[in-house]
A and B are shown apart, each in its own frame.
Chain A
Amino acid sequence: MKIKERISELQDFYLLSTRGLLGAVRKPFYFKDMIEQMDYAGAGSFIIIILVSLFIGMALSLQLAAELSSLGLKMYTGKIVGISIIREIGPVAAALVFAGRVGSGMASELGSMILGHQIDSLRVFGVDPIKKLVTPRILSSIVMLPALTIIGDVVSLFGGYYIAVFVSHQSGTFYWSSIRDVLTFENVFAGAAKPFIFGYLIACISCYMGFSTKGGSKGLRTSTTRAVVVSIVMIIVSDFILTRILLYVLGFSV
């Protein structure tokens, strides 16, 4: 019975994810809803992304400077900070923050709409809830998470710069020239491709969890928690898979 339920859940998730994405090319289009979601997901997450990215950049720079100093290699701080942030930590950190803030919001909003029969009302009025509610959330996540990741990367690099120059007493010019050296197409592409996938996954998982809410306020708590937990696990798992694929496609040898 459990296996049958899990397969059924996976099938529902697949249908929601596919129909949610296809909604972007099928009428009617809900531009106003999409802009509203972009504002919530993007502008609303701006400050928290900046704060988290700044401190991640500073902590990473601090750790590397400490370790590399003992080896007499602290001039490589900028290069390692740059590669780590652009290719790996920046996209993952932004996605985790996004899942915690935006994903939980999506799940709880849709869940309360389910419990309050608002989704049933939409269906009775002949409105497709997936097109009206899921598609704008998927599109806004696919657009806003990459944008937030780029902003987060830049802020992290500035955080790393502050530690490298003012705490570790390294040359600022050398730090930025190291960063410029790692801004190759391969590195930027490896980091920039991930947020699109992460954004899609977070929106689909959160909307699915919201739609599967049942059992009152306790059920809402469960679905919101599941949305965040599953999103976080999927971000980390898919990050590994994407890293493996991108390293292979971009010709890096491991």
Chain B
Amino acid sequence: MIVFDKVWFSYGLHHVLKDVSFTISENERVAILGESGEGKTTILKLILGLIRPDAGKIIIDGEDISNKSEDELRKVRMKFSIVFQEGALFDSLNVKENVAFCLREYSKLSEDEIDHKVRELLRIVGVEHAIELMPDELSGGMHRRVAIARSLAACEPKMFLYDEATTGLDPVNADIICKLILDLSKNGRGLIIVTHKIFDAVKIAKRFIFLKDGIILFDGDKDDLLHSTIPEIQIYLNEVNFS
């Protein structure tokens, strides 16, 4: 379970999150919505302990991670699997080496076993044919799918975190990624997707958190979101032609 308790965070003098509080269970499918620069990605980074809050507590499975050391945070991070915006593949490694990275780092598998596992993961995400390609030779959709395969190789996560997983993709590829994200959560594992593409968010999530000017303006389900009378949300839905 993830608990944000009165969390404040700022970049320099700009307050990105102001007294933000929410609780997310590990089997929930949550979309964090908002315009660019509203602190959506910041929330994911705070969950993983990649950055520390200025004030407030972030509690993961009962443990306050706000002041944990990097070594202690490693255990917390293993509970999650994250796909960063645009994949964040290691650009000096090919697809196979990217997916095999964590297997080589932590497992004692032989090279044959790693090869077998990598092919299996790439088959799950549908890009087995790209195994020898370098990241800069991949299309946007393939990039994200390889990133998902790599995150699956990392650990057995309790939750998946996706940062703008479908941004920049054409509708066909975005739909493929949405289906893949849903498939991976079928066994009850929760997810948090950060996006400004509400079309994709409603395909995946059941709960929606809307951020505006550093505060949570809305927290509810799809029907409540679409029928919200909050002016900022109506403007947002109109802007994305979703009302």
B-contacting residues of A (Cβ < 8 Å)? 112, 116-118, 120-121, 123-128
- A125: chain B residues at CB < 8 Å are 77, 101-102, 105, 154
- A116: chain B residues at CB < 8 Å are 86, 88, 91
A112 to B82, CA, bound (A): 19
- B102: chain A residues at CB < 8 Å are 125
**A128–B84 contact, CB under 8 A?**
no
Q: Given B70, B80, B90, B106, which contacts A121 in the complex, CB threshold below 8 Å? A: B90
- The A-B contact count (CB < 8 A) is 43
**A120–B50 contact, CB under 8 A?**
yes
A118 to B150, CA, bound (A): 13
**A126–B77 contact, CB under 8 A?**
yes
- B80: chain A residues at CB < 8 Å are 124
- B90: chain A residues at CB < 8 Å are 118, 121
- The residue in chain B whose Cβ has the minimal distance to the Cβ of A214 is B11
Q: Given A117, A120, A128, which contacts B70 in the complex, CB threshold below 8 Å? A: A128
**B77–A123 contact, CB under 8 A?**
yes
* Chain A CB within 8 A of B149 CB: no
Asked if A117 meets B101 with Cβ closer than 8 Å, knowing A123-B77, A124-B80, A126-B77, the reply is no
Smallest CB separation, A6 vs chain B (Å): 15
**A120–B88 contact, CB under 8 A?**
yes
**B84–A117 contact, CB under 8 A?**
yes
* Chain A CB within 8 A of B217 CB: no
**B86–A124 contact, CB under 8 A?**
no
Asked if A117 meets B88 with Cβ closer than 8 Å, knowing A124-B48, A126-B106, A127-B105, the reply is yes
Given A116-B86, A125-B102, A128-B70, 18 new contacts (CB under 8 A): A112-B91, A116-B91, A117-B84, A117-B86, A117-B88, A118-B90, A118-B91, A120-B45, A120-B50, A120-B84, A121-B84, A121-B88, A123-B77, A124-B154, A125-B105, A126-B74, A126-B105, A126-B106
**A124–B82 contact, CB under 8 A?**
yes
Greatest chain B CB density within 10 A among A118, A121, A124 is at: A124
Query: Can you give 17 contacting A-B residue pairs, CB < 8 Å?
Result: A116-B86, A116-B88, A117-B85, A117-B88, A118-B89, A118-B90, A120-B84, A121-B82, A121-B88, A121-B90, A123-B48, A124-B82, A124-B154, A126-B77, A126-B78, A126-B106, A127-B105
- A126: chain B residues at CB < 8 Å are 74, 77-78, 105-106
Greatest chain B CB density within 10 A among A126, A127, A128 is at: A126
